[in-house]
Amino acid sequence: MVTRFANRYRIASIRLPYWNYASPGWYFVTLCTRQRHRRYFGNIIDGIVQLSDMGMIVLDEWLRTPIIRSNITLDAWIIMPDHFHGILVIGDHHHIPGIFHPYGHGVETPRRGVSTTHRWQPNTLGSIINQFKSICTKRIRSIGYPQFQWQPRFYERIIRTPRELQMVRRYIWENPEKWAK
């Protein structure tokens, strides 16, 4: 649904209004670059992703995510030439997806010199992804790509069942093979 806010058209958020996005859970995220026709992160040759310097920055920052945030675990992920897919687990990763156990949300996300124009609740999916996008953008611009931008939002889906988890993993793993199609 498209709405108007501050005299601009906006697509309504797909976020669940009742869901606390700091809650333990399995989340499938997709982040796209602003210019989808530009292959910022690399190329796919014979179904295999060959990362560029910018793609290596995205890889480095994604792998740092659970190191700087003790409440995060990474599952399947793929860096594509113009977008990124990943499964991020907040909280206890030993439980089956869809069985969310309420407990404390840990400490505030480290700031690392990252600034955003939005005040996000610490340790939420939105704050984690936006800090990831921000630090990637700063590093990419610092190596000589001042025009680089992500799309302002990101796609997310709460993974609720083991079957859905397997389907999302398969989608991620098969993404490079489907690139040419």
Dig out the tokens for 31 from the structure: 């982040």
Domain count, the chain: 1
CATH number of the domain bearing residue 166: 3.30.70.1290
Dig out the tokens for 76 from the structure: 């399947």
Dig out the tokens for 158 from the structure: 């709460």
Cα 84 from Cα 30, distance rounded (Å): 6
- Assess if residue 7 is contained within a domain: no
- Assess if residue 162 is contained within a domain: yes
- Assess if residue 147 is contained within a domain: yes
H or E segment and range at residue 21: none
* Nearest to 124, CA basis, from 98, 150, 94, 154: 154
pLDDT at 107: 30
- Assess if residue 90 is contained within a domain: yes
- Assess if residue 143 is contained within a domain: yes
- Assess if residue 71 is contained within a domain: yes
Query: Can you give the residue range of the structural domain that contains 173?
Result: 25-178
Contact in structure between 129 and 115 (CB atoms under 8 Å): no
pLDDT category at 125 given cuts 50, 70, 90 is confident
Cα 83 from Cα 71, distance rounded (Å): 25
- Tens digits of per-residue pLDDT, 93-116? 555 555 443 333 333 333 344 444
Dig out the tokens for 2 from the structure: 């498209």
- The mean predicted confidence, pLDDT, of the chain is 79
